């Protein structure tokens, strides 16, 4: 998997004149290994185009006075606590504020529901689950509610992600959503990983920011577990 991603990264590096680096598997996810031996945890969701666009909508004041994030993420066999930590990091990225309190309820490794409060007063709810059948595509939803406007990566009146192409043939029903011309052909889940590595190489200031954020994600996961175990809100 890393070989293909690194070939794609090399293509981008060559095209845009960006310094060397390699995608490697880390303990918590993919990392970027730099020639000096430093390893940067990759946070692919932070460069996923839909989230970049949502951040633009917030930072550009298309939404005014954000109040609440309503996020959901369900994937077959996933770890709902890790998924919640990832969604919380995404919310921190969009909110531009750290989390100061987490309350969570879990039901084994099947589900995890979290309420979080940010230092700037914003609120977030995160729903995660792992019981989608093995071959099901991951399902998620991200809604941002503000005094002026609501933004979402899901169209109004739809519950599930839409696709660019719907195909009905003798082989059955298939969907496709291709979003990246330069990396066309790479599996959907690998594209943000390559883009994340490229982003760090292009903007080295991201390295320290992401190392810190990855550290915070571990704290979110621990807080989720502790909150559920003790039935109490955890201050961070």
Partner 1 sequence: MKPVKIAMMGMTHGHTRKYYQTLLENQKLDWVASCAADERAKEVYELYKTGVPCYLDPEKMLAEHPDIEAIVLASANDRHFEEMKFCAERGIHILSMKIPSFDMKEYDAMIDMVEKAGIVCQIELEMHYNPVVKRLQQEIASGKLGKLLSIQATNITLSPVWAFPWQGSPEASYGKRVPLAPGDKRFRGGALCDHPHIFDLIRWLTGSDYDTVFAQVAPNLRKELEVEDMLMAAGKLKDGTAFLFDPSWSRLEERLKVPAPGWEIFPKRMEVNVTITGEKGMIQCDCFGPNVYHNGAPNDRYTVQYTYFDEWIGLIDEFVDCIRNHKTPKINLKWHRQTIACMNSCYESVAKGAPVKVEGK
Please pick, from the candidates 11, 182, 216, 222, the single residue that binds partner 1 as defined by CB under 8 A. 182
CB of 178 to partner 1, least distance (A): 4
Report the nearest approach of partner 1 to the CB of residue 135 (Å): 20
Site for partner 1 in 141-160 (CB under 8 A): 146, 148-156
Q: Give CA–CA dist 193/45, Å, rounded.
A: 8
Q: Cβ 161 to partner 1, closest distance in Å?
A: 7
Burial class (CB in 10 A: 0-12, 13-18, 19+), 25: exposed
Sequence-ordered list of residues with C-beta below 8 angstroms from that of 98, at least 6 positions apart, any chain: 92, 118, 119, 216, 236
Nearer to partner 1, 49 or 218 (CB): 49
CA dist 198 and 182 (Å) reads 13
Q: Which of 37, 133, 134, 170 binds partner 1 (CB under 8 A)?
A: 170
Nearer to partner 1, 57 or 128 (CB): 57
Q: With beta carbons less than 8 A apart as the criterion, state whether 180 and 190 touch.
A: no
Q: How far is the CB of 3 from partner 1 (least distance, A)?
A: 22
Per-residue binder mask for partner 1 (CB under 8 A), 42-81, x = binder? -------xx--xx-xx---xxxx-----------------
56 contacts 79 by C-beta, under 8 angstroms: no
- Residue 235's alpha-carbon distances to 53, 222, 232, in angstroms, are 30, 12, 10
Residues binding partner 1 (CB under 8 A): 15-17, 49-50, 53-54, 56-57, 61-64, 146, 148-156, 161-171, 176-182, 184
């Amino acid at each position: 998997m890393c070989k293909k991603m690194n070939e794609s990264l090399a293509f981008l590096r060559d095209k845009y004149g960006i310094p060397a680096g390699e995608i490697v598997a880390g303990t918590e996810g993919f990392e970027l290994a730099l020639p000096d031996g430093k390893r940067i945890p990759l946070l692919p969701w932070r460069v996923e185009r839909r989230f970049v666009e949502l951040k633009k909508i917030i930072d550009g004041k298309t939404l005014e006075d954000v109040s609440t994030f309503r996020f959901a993420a369900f994937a077959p066999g996933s770890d709902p606590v890790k998924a919640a930590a990832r969604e919380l990091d995404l919310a921190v990225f969009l909110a531009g504020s750290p989390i100061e309190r987490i309350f969570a309820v879990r039901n084994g490794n099947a589900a995890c529901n979290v309420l979080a409060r940010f230092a700037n007063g914003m609120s977030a709810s995160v729903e995660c689950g792992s019981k989608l059948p093995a071959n099901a595509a991951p399902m998620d939803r991200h809604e941002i509610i503000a005094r002026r406007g609501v933004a979402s990566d899901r169209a109004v009146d739809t519950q599930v992600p839409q696709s660019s192409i719907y195909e009905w043939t003798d082989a059955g029903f298939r969907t496709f959503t291709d979003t990246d011309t330069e990396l066309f052909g790479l599996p959907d889940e690998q594209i943000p990983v390559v883009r994340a590595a490229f982003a760090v190489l292009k903007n080295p200031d991201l390295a320290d920011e992401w190392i810190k954020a990855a550290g915070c994600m571990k704290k979110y996961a621990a807080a989720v577990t502790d909150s559920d175990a003790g039935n109490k809100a955890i201050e961070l």
